């Protein structure tokens, strides 16, 4: 009987799991709670959905980790997981393409006579008349250096893991998490001192949508790396099997690359000729 049920292939046939359904219902509850909050209801309406989503993350990741430890993540399965992560990052690239598209559509043709409303909003120039922008060579440059440095520390951690250097892995993750948290703190300070607002015009809306979503990705990536740090402290990763860490490192490098584009196009080029705050 045991021989009849033995696995004779390299693929993982996943057991039935309730977490996709629980996650979907929780995400719907969180979305409805957020919509209610935006319409003036209490923020407490978001709590059930948030707790449900957080619980789903916790138990689903727990199950995936258990599957890896019990030998289900064969080399073939790990390869397919990498393909899945590559496709996910590709979808994230297209997500940011939408915000860059909105920014370039407004900034490259601010005096388009066909777009009467746009000319009224921009005054026919970019940045729009009267807009005071961030000095790109101050806090934005500092944040660029912080994020690029974090890319080197996460690479250090990855190479340390490959060479079975647990100490280097842990310290590389600690430094990367600290740099990511510092980036977020600097961006919060920058936002709190902005001379323009999200609802103050097309410049503010495109700026905050692009950089704000990037900031959200930095926060998510920091949490991702924090989970990897806890797992590394428990000895979960090996040089042969560490997809969870590899996925986090890829995601972090993606965040780095997006920021470089944001810095040069939105901060430097997009604010060229305007008054610096």
Residue 34: give its domain's CATH number. Answer: 1.10.287.70
Convert the pLDDT of each residue in 138-193 to its tens digit: 999 999 999 999 999 999 999 999 999 999 999 999 999 999 999 999 999 999 99
Tokens for 194?
């902005």
Residue carrying structure tokens 């979305």: 31
Which pLDDT does position 113 carry in this prediction?
60
Instruction: Report the candidate in 78, 35, 103 with the shortest Cα–Cα distance to residue 261.
Output: 103
198 and 66 together in one domain: no
Tokens for 197?
């607002």
Q: Domains in the chain: how many in total?
A: 2
81 and 204 together in one domain: yes
Name the helix (H) or strand (E) containing 276. Answer: strand 275-276
88 and 135 together in one domain: yes
For the CA atoms of the chain, what is the radius of gyration? Answer: 22
Look up the pTM and report it.
Answer: 0.87
40 and 63 together in one domain: yes
| Residue finishing a domain among 16, 43, 72 | 72
For the chain, give the mean pLDDT. 89
- pLDDT-derived band of residue 3, with 50, 70 and 90 as boundaries? very low
- pLDDT-derived band of residue 1, with 50, 70 and 90 as boundaries? very low
Q: Is the pLDDT of residue 221 over 80?
A: yes
Residue carrying structure tokens 């600290």: 178
| Residue finishing a domain among 44, 72, 100 | 72
Which pLDDT does position 247 carry in this prediction?
95
* Residue 215 structural domain: 74-276
Q: Is the pLDDT of residue 60 over 80?
A: yes
Which pLDDT does position 74 carry in this prediction?
86
Find all residues with CB under 8 Å of 152, minimum gap 6, and list them.
none
User: Is 121 exposed, middle or buried (CB count within 10 Å of its CB: 0-12, 13-18, 19+)?
Assistant: middle
CA dist 191 and 187 (Å) reads 6
| Residue finishing a domain among 72, 92, 119 | 72
Which pLDDT does position 4 carry in this prediction?
43
DSSP letter for 269, please: I
The alpha-helical segments, DSSP class H, found in the chain are 19-38, 47-69, 75-107, 116-122, 139-162, 166-192, 202-233, 243-261
């Amino acid at each position: 009987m045991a021989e009849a049920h033995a696995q004779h292939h390299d693929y993982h046939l996943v057991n039935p799991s309730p977490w996709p359904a629980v996650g979907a219902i929780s995400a719907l509850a969180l979305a409805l709670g957020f919509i209610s909050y935006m319409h003036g209801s209490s923020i407490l309406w978001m709590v059930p959905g948030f707790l449900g989503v957080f619980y789903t993350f916790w138990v689903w990741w727990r199950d995936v980790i258990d599957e890896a430890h019990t030998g289900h993540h064969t080399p073939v399965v790990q390869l397919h997981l990498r393909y899945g992560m590559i496709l996910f990052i590709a979808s994230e690239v297209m997500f940011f393409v939408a915000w860059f598209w909105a920014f370039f559509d407004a900034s490259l043709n601010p005096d388009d006579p066909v777009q009467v409303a746009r000319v009224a909003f921009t005054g026919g120039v970019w940045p729009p008349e009267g807009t005071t922008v961030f000095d790109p060579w101050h806090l934005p440059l500092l944040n660029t250096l912080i994020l690029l440095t974090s890319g080197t520390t996460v690479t250090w951690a990855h190479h340390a893991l490959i060479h079975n250097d647990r100490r280097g892995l842990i310290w590389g993750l600690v430094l990367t998490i600290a740099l990511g948290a510092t980036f977020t703190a600097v961006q919060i300070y920058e936002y709190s001192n902005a001379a323009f607002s999200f609802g103050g015009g097309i410049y503010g809306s495109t700026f905050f949508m692009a950089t704000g979503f990037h900031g959200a990705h930095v926060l998510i990536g920091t949490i991702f790396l924090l989970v990897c740090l806890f797992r590394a402290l428990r000895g979960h990763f090996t040089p042969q099997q560490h997809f969870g860490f590899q996925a986090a490192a890829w995601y972090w490098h993606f965040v780095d690359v997006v920021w470089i584009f944001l810095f040069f196009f939105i901060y430097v080029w997009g604010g060229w000729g305007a008054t610096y705050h």
